[in-house]
Amino acid sequence: MNSIVVHYQEIALKGKNRPWFLSRLVRNLRGAVADLDVRAVRPLMGRIEVELGPGVTREEVGERIRRTFGVATGQPSYPTPVGNFEIVTMQRNPWWYPPQSDWAEGAEPIPPGPGNPLGTRWMGLSAPLVGIHGTPDPASIGYSASHGCIRMQNDEVTALYPLVPVGTHVLVVGYRPATAGYWDTPPGKES
């Protein structure tokens, strides 16, 4: 059997969100390969198997899954909100302005540059004061380290930035994912 395995175990799948997340991930993968000769997309323990028909290659399916990225999400005391959102604003080399929150009390705005906590890019979500952004602290990636935002390494957020225009849907599952993925879905197959 010719197949591709997509691992999701590194994403923290906990509690009641796990079955919903798996069904959504399988549905999105099915949509991404709907026009190819794919016989089945099956969730298994810790992975999803994509069974290919004789007329499709691994490379063809692999081209649809663009890339995965390591991320840092909100600390338990400042969790990243869960749900369906969309990107509503985008900025290159953003300024950081302290939010009205206890943790930012007395902080001053920080201009673009090496010490900016937003790194090199900001993609603001429809969730208030939450976005996907770079970080000057790459050691925080893979941990619950932010105040609710989704942090990425600066080179990775810079690579993702031109691929996701304003209006792009963002699905946040749980509050501690270790990776985020981006893949193409053929027109008319969005889920």
- 154-169 pLDDT tens trace: 998 898 888 778 887 7
Could you give phi then psi for residue 18, rounded to 5 degrees? -60, -55
pLDDT tens for each residue of 16-55? 455 666 676 777 777 777 777 777 777 665 556 666 677 7
Residue numbers in the chain where pLDDT is lower than 70: 1-22, 24, 43-52, 58, 61-68, 173-191
The confidence score (pLDDT) of residue 95 equals 94
Per DSSP, 110 falls in state: B
The confidence score (pLDDT) of residue 23 equals 72
The confidence score (pLDDT) of residue 154 equals 93
For the chain, where do the domains classified as CATH 2.40.440.10 start and end?
Answer: 69-180
Nearest to 7, CA basis, from 29, 35, 33: 29
Domain range 69-180, CATH class: mainly beta
Domain range 3-66, CATH class: alpha beta
Annotation marks residue 7 as catalytic: no
The confidence score (pLDDT) of residue 135 equals 92
- Residue 45: partners with Cβ closer than 8 Å, 6 or more residues away: none
Its pTM stands at 0.64
For 21-79, the DSSP string reads HHHHHHHHHHHHTTTS-EEEEEEETTEEEEEEPTT--HHHHHHHEEEEEE-BEE-TTSP
The confidence score (pLDDT) of residue 87 equals 87
For the chain, where do the domains classified as CATH 3.30.70.1510 start and end?
Answer: 3-66
Annotation marks residue 133 as catalytic: yes
Tell me how far CA of residue 68 lies from CA of 19, 65, 71, 160, in angstroms: 21, 8, 10, 10
